[in-house]
């Protein structure tokens, strides 16, 4: 069973998941990075460009999902170094430091609470996030073209691309595709017909929406909506 709630860290989400049965699961691209807890260990999930298929199996997971662009400053690792990867925190931080954080999370009332407290503490140490990144996400999530976004921010397309790689793990065009995917699925899950969903989220037509969903999510829209 999957459950989530707002984190004490602004914009982040704390979640727990205990698979209800055997078999793989599917994690869709969303532009975010997660700090994960499993069996007493801490891992980091980088930004995905395609669906990540989990191995399944027993055991509870917990995580804190950082909103796009915020995790690299908290974890001290550029997002593109972790693109489409899941790695142990000990591979990114000095072993002693990673173990201290794991011990703090394990000592909390529950792993989700421990992760939430750790995220809040790291945010206080790292300072406020770069406001430019939130403006990039807002513009692209609203469907604004990449070139227009760069012009509006006054940083130029090449600089926007470089900043996006480090902050989001990929360039602004890929981020825009991922954000549009999430907007479309949210509409469809609320009952909006696929043809209307495609029109409202900027796809050329329903066929275009279906192709994009297959490429990014690894399944047809109908399969995702049925929970497959």
Tokens read off for 217 = 């999510």
Nearest one of 90, 111, 93 to 18, comparing CA atoms: 111
DSSP per position, 24-41: -EEE---S-EEEEEETTE
Give pLDDT tens digits along the chain (228 positions): 889 999 999 999 999 998 776 667 889 999 999 999 999 999 999 999 999 988 766 689 999 999 999 999 999 999 999 999 999 999 999 999 999 999 999 999 999 999 999 999 999 999 888 999 999 999 999 999 999 999 999 999 999 999 999 999 999 999 999 999 999 999 999 999 999 999 999 999 999 999 999 999 999 999 998 875
Nearest one of 32, 53, 38, 36 to 168, comparing CA atoms: 32
Q: How far apart are CA 10 and CA 159, in angstroms?
A: 27
Classified as helix, coil or strand, 197 is helix
Residues in a beta bridge with 66: 33
HSE-CB of 137 using CA atoms within 13 angstroms: 20
Question: Is the four-CA dihedral 69, 70, 71, 77 of positive or negative sign?
Answer: positive
């Amino acid at each position: 069973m999957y459950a989530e709630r707002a984190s004490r860290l602004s914009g982040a989400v704390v979640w727990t998941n205990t698979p209800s049965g055997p078999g793989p699961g599917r994690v869709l691209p969303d532009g975010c990075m997660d700090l994960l807890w499993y069996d007493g260990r801490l891992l980091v999930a980088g930004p995905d460009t395609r669906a990540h298929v989990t191995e399944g199996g027993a055991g509870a997971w917990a995580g804190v999902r950082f909103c796009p662009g915020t995790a690299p400053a908290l974890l001290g690792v550029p997002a593109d170094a972790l693109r489409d990867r899941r790695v142990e925190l000990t591979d990114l931080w000095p072993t002693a430091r990673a173990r201290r954080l794991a011990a703090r999370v394990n000592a909390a009332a529950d792993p989700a609470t421990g992760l939430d407290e750790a995220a809040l503490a790291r945010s206080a140490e790292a300072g406020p996030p770069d406001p430019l990144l939130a403006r990039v996400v807002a513009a692209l999530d609203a469907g604004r073209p990449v070139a227009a976004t760069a012009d509006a921010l006054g940083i130029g397309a090449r600089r926007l691309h470089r900043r996006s790689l480090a902050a989001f793990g990929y360039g602004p065009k890929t981020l825009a595709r991922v954000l549009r995917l999430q907007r479309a699925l949210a509409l469809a899950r609320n009952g909006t017909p696929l043809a209307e969903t495609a029109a409202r989220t900027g796809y050329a037509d329903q066929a275009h929406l279906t192709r994009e969903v297959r490429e990014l999510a690894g399944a047809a829209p109908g399969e995702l909506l049925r929970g497959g």
